[in-house]
């Protein structure tokens, strides 16, 4: 049997129908047996979320969904997957009706949101068949036994449980798999946190003993510094698993923080390549951690909430953090006090459960790799993967620029 190569295509690779044609070209040009994981079409998940929250918008969403997916994959409603297509559309209609008529439930919301991936897999499989890939077929992750750790929402996939019950025989030909969701601990559908389809792809790489996982993005790999800060920096050729996980938590949205978890034990590498330049030589590889005495990258996440209290962390607050899939940068609790440092944009999800003091800070910066940093700001933590600092300033961009120039050569900036 050919070695398995897992290809993950995110929403940014599914902006128009011809993008599916490019997926076919990529599959054809790569050796190995392809296993394809897809996100929803570009912007689709946001539309489904809006429909779940705004009943008037929900009324016209179903027809919009039909139109959009038929535009990407003409004939989908009459082809070999027509029955599946109609089943998904009917399911969305039913759940939207339940949800907007007052019968709201997390399960209904999850079914609505997961429909984006289901429809995307159908559209991609249909158009690939039209392009000569006769064995392309859609596969729902939940339907073949992918298990998640949690009820309703989950941070990660349960690899051990999934390995025991995954229907490997369904992954024949060219399977087009849904990302982002699976079966929760209660047997109902569960969603990963936003961006979790990369984690799904990594889990499938583990479960199928893949040679590698390729994440197709609309960029040339991971930069030393997020371009949002106005500095043009080189692509990082190699990151260790730990470094990649650390960087992903600090303003570098290229991969989901949990992406690497299923790959570490097996040593399966990730390649991050440009969807619009598939033969390009610029890319980032993520693999086993190596000893490196240099600074690799800088991550920065604006908006920090520092929560303190003169009593230990309550089980109620901890449960709320876990339920919403929030990953604090630091969380300490003793019988006398507790302290949590977390993204400010997640604070509203748990604020009602907080009884202590909340202080807002400008940003958290993580310097990835080993480097001698003069500590001018509040030190959060330091480990083998990086150093985290809290910054309080009204000139954040200048602060980041100065730090970058102090750690890297000016020739990297243009």
| The pLDDT value given to residue 338 | 96
Examine the pLDDT at 245 and tell me if it is beyond 70: yes
Tokens for 239? 């990151």
**pLDDT, mean of residues 213-233:** 93
By CB atoms closer than 10 A (0-12, 13-18, 19+), residue 148 is buried
The residues pairing with 308 across neighbouring beta strands, listed in sequence order, are 339, 357
**157 vs 251 pLDDT, higher one:** 157
CATH topology of domain 4-219+254-259: Carbamate kinase (3.40.1160)
Examine the pLDDT at 412 and tell me if it is beyond 60: no
Band of the pLDDT at 1, cuts 50, 70, 90? very low
295-412 — its CATH code?
A: 3.30.2130.10
Given a contact cutoff of 8 angstroms between Cβ atoms, the answer to whether 377 and 391 are in contact is yes
The residues pairing with 176 across neighbouring beta strands, listed in sequence order, are 36, 138
Examine the pLDDT at 193 and tell me if it is beyond 90: no
**Lowest-pLDDT range, 71-75, 109-113, 135-139, 267-271?**
109-113
**59 vs 199 pLDDT, higher one:** 199
**pLDDT, mean of residues 220-227:** 92
Task: State how far the Cα of 372 lies from the Cα of 393, in Å rounded to an integer.
Answer: 22
Percent above pLDDT 70 for the chain: 97
Given a contact cutoff of 8 angstroms between Cβ atoms, the answer to whether 211 and 5 are in contact is yes
With DSSP H G I counted as helix, E B as strand and the rest as coil, what are the percentages for the chain, rounded to 5? 40, 25, 35
Task: State how far the Cα of 204 lies from the Cα of 36, in Å rounded to an integer.
Answer: 10
Given a contact cutoff of 8 angstroms between Cβ atoms, the answer to whether 257 and 251 are in contact is no
Instruction: Pick the most confident of 185-194, 299-308, 374-383.
Output: 299-308
Band of the pLDDT at 374, cuts 50, 70, 90? low
Q: What are phi and psi of 360, to 5 degrees?
A: -95, 135
**pLDDT, mean of residues 165-185:** 95
**pLDDT, mean of residues 280-297:** 88
Examine the pLDDT at 204 and tell me if it is beyond 60: yes
Examine the pLDDT at 411 and tell me if it is beyond 70: no
CA distances (Å), 259 to each of 151, 192, 316, in order? Answer: 20, 11, 28
Q: Per residue in 108-137, pLDDT tens?
A: 889 999 999 999 999 999 999 999 999 999
Band of the pLDDT at 375, cuts 50, 70, 90? low
* Average per-residue pLDDT for the chain: 91
Examine the pLDDT at 52 and tell me if it is beyond 80: no
Band of the pLDDT at 410, cuts 50, 70, 90? very low
Q: What are phi and psi of 9, to 5 degrees?
A: -115, 115
| The pLDDT value given to residue 253 | 74
- DSSP string spanning 133-144? -TTEEEE-TGGG
**pLDDT, mean of residues 347-363:** 95
**pLDDT, mean of residues 35-41:** 97
**Lowest-pLDDT range, 32-36, 91-95, 100-104, 180-184?**
100-104
Task: State how far the Cα of 250 lies from the Cα of 254, in Å rounded to an integer.
Answer: 11
| The pLDDT value given to residue 105 | 85
pTM value is 0.91
Given a contact cutoff of 8 angstroms between Cβ atoms, the answer to whether 385 and 242 are in contact is yes
**290 vs 131 pLDDT, higher one:** 131
Rounded to a whole number, what is the largest CA-CA distance in the chain?
66
The residues pairing with 364 across neighbouring beta strands, listed in sequence order, are 301, 390
**102 vs 83 pLDDT, higher one:** 83
Q: What are phi and psi of 325, to 5 degrees?
A: 65, 30
CA distances (Å), 25 to each of 19, 276, 316, in order? Answer: 10, 11, 50
**pLDDT, mean of residues 314-329:** 89
Segments making up each domain of the chain, as ranges: 4-219+254-259, 295-412
Q: What is the CA radius of gyration of the chain?
A: 22
| The pLDDT value given to residue 409 | 65
By CB atoms closer than 10 A (0-12, 13-18, 19+), residue 253 is exposed
């Amino acid at each position: 049997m050919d070695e398995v190569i897992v290809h993950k295509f995110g929403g940014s690779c599914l902006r128009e129908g011809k993008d599916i044609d490019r997926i076919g070209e990529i599959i054809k040009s790569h050796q190995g047996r392809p296993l394809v994981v897809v996100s929803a079409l570009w912007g689709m998940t946001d539309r489904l979320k809006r429909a779940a929250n705004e009943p008037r918008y929900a009324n016209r969403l179903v027809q919009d969904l039909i139109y959009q997916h038929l535009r990407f994959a003409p004939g989908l409603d009459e082809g070999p997957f027509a029955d599946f297509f109609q089943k998904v559309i009917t399911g969305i209609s039913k759940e939207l009706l339940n949800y907007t008529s007052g019968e709201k439930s997390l399960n209904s919301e999850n079914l609505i949101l997961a429909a984006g991936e289901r429809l995307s897999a159908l559209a991609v499989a249909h158009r690939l068949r039209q392009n000569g890939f006769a064995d392309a077929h859609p596969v729902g992750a939940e339907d073949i036994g992918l298990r998640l750790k949690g009820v309703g929402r989950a941070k990660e996939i349960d690899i051990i449980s999934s390995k025991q019950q995954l229907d490997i025989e369904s992954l024949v030909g060219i399977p087009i798999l849904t990302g982002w969701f699976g079966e929760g601990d209660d047997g109902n559908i569960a969603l990963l946190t936003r961006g979790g389809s990369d984690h799904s792809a990594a889990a499938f790489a583990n479960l199928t003993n893949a040679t590698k996982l390729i994440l197709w993005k609309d960029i040339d790999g991971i930069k030393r510094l997020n371009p949002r800060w106005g500095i043009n920096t080189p692509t990082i050729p190699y990151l260790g698993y730990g470094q990649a996980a650390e960087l992903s938590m600090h303003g570098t949205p290229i991969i989901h923080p949990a992406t690497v978890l299923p790959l570490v034990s097996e040593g399966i590498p990730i390649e991050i390549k440009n969807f619009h330049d598939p033969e390009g030589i610029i890319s980032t590889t993520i693999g086993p951690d190596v000893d490196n005495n240099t600074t690799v990258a800088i991550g920065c996440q604006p908006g920090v909430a520092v929560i303190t209290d003169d009593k230990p962390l309550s089980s109620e607050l901890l449960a709320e953090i876990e339920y919403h899939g929030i990953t604090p940068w630091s969380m300490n609790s003793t019988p006398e006090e507790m302290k949590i440092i977390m993204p400010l944009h997640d604070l509203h999800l748990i604020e009602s459960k907080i009884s202590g003091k909340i202080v807002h800070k400008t940003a958290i910066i993580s310097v990835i790799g080993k480097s001698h940093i003069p500590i001018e700001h509040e030190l959060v933590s330091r480990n083998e993967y990086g150093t985290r600092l809290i910054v309080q300033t009204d000139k954040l961009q200048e602060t980041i620029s100065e730090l970058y120039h102090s750690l890297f050569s000016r020739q990297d900036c243009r």
